[in-house]
Structure formats: C-alpha cells, structure tokens
Amino acid sequence: MTARRPVVVGIVGAGFAANLHLENYHLVHGVDVRVKGVAALRPERSQAFAAQHGLERAYPTVDDLLADPEINLVDLCVPNHQHVPLIVRCGEAGKAVACEKPLTGFYGDGEPLVGNRFGRADMLAGALAGADRALDAVERARVRLLYAENWVYSPNIRKAARLVARTGGAILRIVGEESHSGTHSDYARQWRYSGGGSLINKGCHPLGAALYLKYEEGRRQWGQPIRPLRVVATVARLTKTRGFLADAEKFIREGWEDCEDWGSLLLTFDDDTVAQITAADVTLGGIQNVFSVYSSRAVVHANNVPNTSVVAYAPRDGLYGGESIREKVETTAGWQFTSGDEHWMNGFPAELQDFCEAVADDREPVSGATLARDVVAVCYGAYLSAEQGRAVDLGPLLREA
C-alpha cells in the first residue's frame, strides 16, 4: 500500500470562507495536514489572518504562494469571478486546487450588466468555456480539482442517500431549496462578480446534492452516472416589485444591481426522473436548507437547517450574546431552531477530510470536476430557459464524466 503524502495547504483569500475552512482543517484526522500560509489581494489582510491563526507565512502575492514547493493543495476562498484564472495558475504550478462553489459563471466585460447587454445564450457559452479552461488546466497538470459543495458531505444528505440505496428503489423526484433573507455580500448582488444571483449562488447547493444522488444511483444500478438532460426555469427580482418597494419597513436585504433574488428550476434527468430546485434571497426566518427524496420505496426528508436537534426560546433578542443561533436569522427572540454543531451539520468537516485524503492518496474526491461543471451547465441552461420561456436541452452541453 502506497504511503499517504503529507498535505500542505495554502489558502488564497482572508475572508469568511477562509476562516471557515481553516477551522475545519484542524478537524482532519488520519492525514498529515498543515495549513502553511495565506495570500490575499491586500497584503495587510493576509498578514492579519496569518497572525490571528498562527500560520507560518503571509505570502505577499498569490504567485509567491504558488512558488512554494511545499504547498500541494491551494484552497481558493475568493469571489466567483476569480476562480477560473486562479485554477489555471494552480494547474500551471502543479498544485491540486480546492474551489468554492460555484465553479464559475459568466462575468461580462467587468462593467455592470444592467440593461441585458448580454444574451443568456452568450452567457451559457461563456460560462462553459470558462469551466473547460479550468478543467483542462488541471487535467493537463494531472492534479485534482476539489469542488467545495458542502451539501454533498452533509451527514443528513449522506444518510438520505444511504437510506434510499438500501431500499433498492428508484429515485423518482427530488425537491431541494436554499433560501434566506438576503446575502450580506455586495459581490453577490452584481453579476460581473458573482455570475448570477440566487439561482446559481444558492440553488447550486441543493442542485449539487440532487446531481450527486442521481450519479450514485446510476453507478449503483447501471454502472454509469445518471446525468441531467433538460431544464426549464423562471427567475424574478422580487425586491424590485411595486409592493416591496412601497413597504416602509424592510427586513429583507435590498441592493440587487442586476441579479435575480429568486429562481426555480425543474430538471429532468436522462432516466426521465425529475428534481425541483428553488433558491431565494427573499425568505424571512433564517436560512432554509431543506431537501427531500421521493423514491419508489421510500420518502426521506433531510432538513439541514432548520432542524430540531436543539430548540431554544428567549423572550427578547440579544439574550444569547455572541452564540451562533442560525445563519441569516433576523432575530434571536422567540423559539429558535439551532444546531449543536452547525459546521458538522452542513458537511464542512467531512468535505475537508475528503479533500485532504484525495490529495494524500492521489484519488478523485467525492465532489469533483464533473459535479462542478454540471452545476454550471444546469444553472446557465436555466437562465437561458427563463429568458426564452422554453425547456433547454442539456445533453450537448455536458462533458463526459
């Protein structure tokens, strides 16, 4: 048996995702893992991040990080529009690369995309061309692309997959949603940085989980993954509607420049089964990460958030101090549905465990290149469907698994 290689990680970015990932790298076991350093757009941020977390290096630039021969895994915790250029550079440097979701999108010419300056067909072609640039780069370098879709690693989703598999039944329908009352990120409200709105940036999670379950079902039953076939969708900008604008008291975040704040797609797979995926930034009550699987022999509901693992009551807001209650909840007053370990429930420890093992053992991760690209194809097919009011055939858009 080949000995596992040590994994030395360099993080690019010093924001929320970087902090989240670093915390969960500490939980990896059975692999010799060391997070060596960080690089960020502004050197002062990387220096502060390295000092805060006791890292060995704050690299002046990304090039300096990539030039470090010890590093064999680069973790990209940066805005969506930076993913493909950095993945290409990681490939050229011979480094495995972990990339946050979604893999990529269409970002135009760097200016706001107001006024529909680009048609959705051009966006679809551009997004897939970017995805292929990234995948070609890592394939040429013979390094791994690790797609950070945490829903695939959620213990609830994995349990749902195992339960359905044990019954021996066929998955007929999947229903998934991620919604809350609006992103904090200014980047996510601008297409030139995020590559879309709610549908791709939130819908990618339940969509990724649905694709994963159908891949696994296909491999189990037929020896090859079941892939997406066609999509029909609609999107909306609900914070721009007359009623919302007239409401004097707002609890939902505004400021969407040119992206949708709600979207829903109906996906048909190549075995003629379906998935219904919804995503929104206009839903009060904290984040809603819910997923249901309807098979020929069972029904499984996997409620990542909210769930009843810990239920708490407080008569007014603020009594819990700085203790985390639930992501994006507007108030902590009243009854609250929280988790004993939110990171575990969302799959982050298992995700980084798999990534480190994949690099150490030189194998494919559970969430890899095929899932990353299929999510882009489905979401941009959905945007084209919403623009043209018709179903979009995904078959010609897919890359061989």
What is the structure's pLDDT at 401?
Answer: 84
CA distance readout (Å), 135 to 34, 179, 199, 365: 26, 29, 23, 14
Closest-CA residue to 278 (of 291, 297, 296): 291
Distance between CA atoms of residues 212 and 368, nearest Å: 10
Q: What is the pLDDT of residues 261-275, one digit of tens each?
A: 999 999 999 999 999
Interval 286-306: pLDDT, tens? 999 999 999 999 999 999 999
Amino acid 115: pLDDT:
67
307 and 235 inside one domain: yes
241 shares a domain with 97? no
Do 25 and 48 contact (CB within 8 A), yes or no?
no
- Residue where one domain finishes, among candidates 129, 149, 169: 149
Tokens of 358: 């994949």
* 8 DSSP assignment: E
79 in the same domain as 54 = yes
Of 97, 133, 128, nearest to 13 by C-alpha is 97
Crossing angle between the packed helical segments 43-53 and 16-25, to the nearest 10 degrees: 30
DSSP assignment of 331-362 equals ---EEEEE-S-HHHHHTHHHHHHHHHHHHHHT
Last residue of a domain, one of 149, 166, 192: 149
Whole-number CA gyration radius for the chain: 21
Residues 217, 314, single domain; the answer is yes
Looking at the 3D structure of the chain, how many domains does it have? 2
Which of 116, 394, 83, 90 has its CA nearest to residue 268? 394
- Backbone CA torsion sign across 169, 277, 102, 180: negative
User: Residue 107 belongs to a domain with what CATH number?
Assistant: 3.40.50.720
Same domain assignment for residues 95 and 159: no
Cα–Cα–Cα angle for 19, 23, 24, rounded to 5 degrees: 120
Per-residue pLDDT, 172? 98
185 & 112 share domain: no
Token look-up 């990618």 returns 204
| pLDDT, one tens digit for every residue, the chain (401 residues) | 578 999 999 999 999 999 999 999 999 999 999 999 999 999 999 999 999 999 999 999 999 999 999 999 999 999 999 999 999 999 999 999 999 999 999 999 988 887 668 999 999 999 999 999 999 999 999 999 999 999 999 999 999 999 999 999 999 999 999 999 998 888 889 999 999 999 999 999 999 999 999 999 999 999 999 999 999 999 999 999 999 999 999 999 999 989 999 999 999 999 999 999 999 999 999 999 999 999 999 999 999 999 899 999 999 999 999 898 888 899 999 999 998 899 999 999 999 999 999 999 999 999 999 999 999 999 999 999 999 999 999 999 999 98
Same domain for 300 and 332, yes or no, is: yes
Residue at 212 is within a domain: yes
What local confidence, expressed as pLDDT, does residue 112 receive? 85
Q: Are residues 98 and 189 in the same domain?
A: no
Which domain range does residue 12 map to?
A: 7-149
- Domain C-terminal end among 149, 172, 194: 149
Spacing of C-alpha 351 from chain mean position: 12
Q: How far apart are CA 2 and CA 293, in angstroms?
A: 39
- The predicted pLDDT at position 133 comes to 98
Residue 1 included in any domain:
no
Please name every residue paired with 313 in a beta bridge, in sequence order, or none if there are none.
335
Instruction: Evaluate whether 39 touches 46 at the Cβ level (below 8 Å).
Output: yes
Q: In what order do the strands lie in the sheet with 7-12?
A: 57-58, 33-39, 7-12, 73-76, 96-100, 145-148
pLDDT at res. 1: 57
- Position 246 in a domain: yes
Gap between the Cα atoms of 382 and 380, Å rounded: 5
pTM: 0.96
Is residue 308 a part of any domain in this protein?
Answer: yes
DSSP code string of 149-169:
-GGGG-HHHHHHHHHHHHHTP
DSSP-derived secondary structure letter, 46: H
Residues 49 and 193 both lie in one domain: no
